[in-house]
Amino acid sequence: MIIDNKIIGLFLIGFFLVTYTSCNDYLDAKSDASLVVPNKVSDLQALLDRTYIMNTRAAIYGEASSDNYYLSNEVWLSLSEADRNLYGWGDEIVYYDGSDNGWSSCYQAVYYANLALEQIVGIDKNTSSEDAWNNVKGSAHFFRGYYFYMVASTWAKAFDENTASSDLGIPLRLNSDFNIRSTRASVKETYEQILTDLKLAVPLLPVMPEHVMRPSKPAAYAMLSRVYLAMREYPQAKLYADSCLMLKSDLMDYGAINGSLSYPIPQFNEETIFYTHAYIAPLDDYKGRIDSFLFNEFDDFDKRKELFFYGISDSSVSFRGSYSSSFSLFVGLATDEVLLNKAECAVRLGDVSGALSDLNALLEKRWIVGTYVPITATSPDEVLALVLTERRKELLMRDLRWMDIKRLNKEGANINLTRNLNGEVYELPANSPKFALPIPIRVIEETGMPQNPRK
Q: How far, in Å, CA of 242 to CA of 141, rounded?
A: 21
What is residue 277's predicted lDDT score, i.e. its pLDDT?
Answer: 97
Q: How far, in Å, CA of 16 to CA of 235, rounded?
A: 44
Q: How far, in Å, CA of 53 to CA of 368, rounded?
A: 38
CA dist list (Å): 48 to 29, 112, 113, 115, 399 = 11, 7, 7, 10, 23
What is residue 245's predicted lDDT score, i.e. its pLDDT?
Answer: 98
What is residue 178's predicted lDDT score, i.e. its pLDDT?
Answer: 80
CATH number of 5-255+331-447: 1.25.40.390
Of 124-138, 142-156, 217-231, 333-347, the one with minimum mean pLDDT is 124-138
For residue 365, give the nearest of 271, 238, 267 by alpha carbon: 271
Residue-wise DSSP of 351-382? -HHHHHHHHHHHHHTTBPTT---------HHH
**pLDDT over 80 (residue 205):** yes
Q: How far, in Å, CA of 65 to CA of 348, rounded?
A: 27
Residue-wise DSSP of 298-337? S-TTBTHHHHSEEE-TTS-EEE---TTSSSSEE-SEEHHH
What is residue 441's predicted lDDT score, i.e. its pLDDT?
Answer: 84
pLDDT digits (tens, 9 = 90+) for 251-270: 999 999 999 999 999 999 99
Confidence of residue 6 (pLDDT cuts 50, 70, 90): very low
The domain ranges of the chain are 5-255+331-447
For residue 93, give the nearest of 434, 448, 425, 420 by alpha carbon: 434
Range among 14-18, 95-99, 442-446 with highest mean pLDDT value: 442-446
What is residue 96's predicted lDDT score, i.e. its pLDDT?
Answer: 52
Confidence of residue 57 (pLDDT cuts 50, 70, 90): confident
CA atoms within 13 A on the CB side of 86: 28
What is residue 94's predicted lDDT score, i.e. its pLDDT?
Answer: 55
Centroid of chain to Cα 289: 21
Q: Between β-strands 424-428 and 329-330, what pairing exists: parallel, antiparallel or unpaired?
A: unpaired
Q: How far, in Å, CA of 78 to CA of 286, rounded?
A: 13
Confidence of residue 10 (pLDDT cuts 50, 70, 90): very low
Contact 264, 307 (CB under 8 A): yes
For residue 410, give the nearest of 151, 153, 162, 158 by alpha carbon: 158
Rama region for 412: left / alpha / beta (φ>0; ψ in -120 to 50; rest): left
What is residue 28's predicted lDDT score, i.e. its pLDDT?
Answer: 33
Confidence of residue 58 (pLDDT cuts 50, 70, 90): confident
What is residue 38's predicted lDDT score, i.e. its pLDDT?
Answer: 77
For residue 271, give the nearest of 206, 316, 325, 337 by alpha carbon: 337
pLDDT digits (tens, 9 = 90+) for 405-437: 999 999 999 999 999 998 899 999 999 999 999
The pTM score is 0.92
Contact 375, 359 (CB under 8 A): yes
**pLDDT over 50 (residue 3):** no
Q: How far, in Å, CA of 35 to CA of 31, rounded?
A: 9
Residue-wise DSSP of 365-432? TTBPTT---------HHHHHHHHHHHHHHHTTTSS-HHHHHHHHHHTT----EEEEETTEEEEE-TT-
What is residue 20's predicted lDDT score, i.e. its pLDDT?
Answer: 32
Q: How far, in Å, CA of 208 to CA of 141, rounded?
A: 17
